[in-house]
Amino acid sequence: MVKSFEKLVEEFAYHVQAQTEQIVAGDAKIGNKHAKKAIAAFMQLRAGGDAGRDALAVLFTHPRMDVRVSAAALLLRHRTAEAKAVLEEAAKGKGLVPFEASEALKRWEEGTWALDPAEDDERQPGATRPAQPSKLSHPRTERTTTGKRRGSKRDKPGG
């Protein structure tokens, strides 16, 4: 059963708030569980394409800054001007959430932001990514020799 976008947006907001509260309370373990659930909600929204992303954008006006910042950080590529405005406003403050906002902006400006990469949109529905080569499929490289033979147990006296 596919959840509605509105339900997923509510879940996202709830888990972002719960994560923040747990971090402030000093319980990173439970905070991380909420973070995973917020990301899972985003991934389901993202699977709905731009309509799912647009549904998340309603959180740009959420009463809580942590929810606004989390949504804006994830939607920088899709709704750049609006997301940047939310992050820039939040970054003016002090504390954890303003710091997160400033870091998202910094990563965006330096070109290393990749929370919702465009290449995911370019793939056709049902298309798969090429498999990454396993360790076993990497060609063996020859060791450089130094003219020195590697020792073994047999080389040791009594070995």
Judged against a pLDDT cut of 70, whether residue 35 lies above it is answered with yes
* 5-113 to CATH, choices 1.25.40.70, 1.10.1660.10, 3.40.50.720, 3.50.50.60: 1.25.40.70
Q: What is the mean pLDDT of residues 91-113?
A: 93
Q: DSSP assignment, residue 93?
A: S
pLDDT at site 101: 96
What are the boundaries of each domain within the chain?
5-113
Region of 49 (left: φ > 0; alpha: ψ -120 to 50; beta: rest) is left
Judged against a pLDDT cut of 70, whether residue 115 lies above it is answered with yes
pLDDT band, very low/low/confident/very high, at 158 (cuts 50, 70, 90): low
Distance CA 87, CA 85 (A): 6
